[in-house]
Amino acid sequence: MISMTPDIAQLIAAFVAGMNEEIELLELKGAHLEALSTAILARDDEALPEVMRQMEQAQVLQDATDQKLLVIRSEIANVLAWPLELVTATKLAAQITGPNKAFVEQSRQRIIEIAGQVRKQHLETVLLLAECTKINRMLLEGLFGSQAQPLHTYGRSGHNTWRPDTGVVDAEL
């Protein structure tokens, strides 16, 4: 068991605050993935760049939070003389008592819960994008043919008029 000195209590409180930031970011990622799926399904080409920009901004925040948590974990490791790898929410919750233990366990459980939801939303978005890719590929094969079955087009006289080395539209003036 860890004896709760004011320094350790302060570090644990900072660790819980960092975990709460992580929770907020996970919720934000879930919302971004939902917005991305919605924009794709609604064919909202104007919303897509904004959603992507928000996702990039969230990643910057995630990197900062990860760095902050690493610093806090390093400080806890130094104070407790533990290797950094052992400073996890699970190990800390097992070694502390009182309200801090409950806060660490609650934050840990919430992170696990939200991470599962984000993982599910991510998989749904990946599947949606895979289906979009499949549909686009089928459309392109319908227009241009595939390597295995080239597309043949014929004019009114029955002659093959398709020139694969040219564009779809003749833009000559």
Q: How confident is the model at residue 171 (pLDDT cuts 50, 70, 90)?
A: very low
Residue 144: other Cβ atoms inside 10 A: 12
Local structure of residue 160 (DSSP, 8 states) = B
pLDDT at residue number 2 = 82
DSSP-derived secondary structure for 68-108: HHHHHHHHHHHHHT--GGG--HHHHHHH--SHHHHHHHHHH
Domains within the chain, CATH numbers bracketed: 6-144 (1.20.58)
pLDDT at residue number 156 = 65
Average pLDDT, the chain: 87
The torsion of the CA quartet 63, 68, 74, 77, rounded to 10 degrees, works out to -120
Tell me the per-residue pLDDT of 101-154, one tens digit each, with 9 for 90 and over.
999 999 999 999 999 999 999 999 999 999 999 988 888 877 776 666 655 555
pLDDT at residue number 86 = 93
Report whether pLDDT(172) > 80: no
Sign of CA dihedral 94, 100, 102, 106: negative
Question: pTM for this one?
Answer: 0.77
Q: Are 11 and 75 in contact (CB under 8 A)?
A: yes
Share of the chain above pLDDT 70, in %: 83
145 three-state secondary structure: strand
How confident is the model over 51-61, as a mean pLDDT? 96
Among 54, 89, 87, 92, which residue's Cα sits nearest to residue 73? Answer: 87
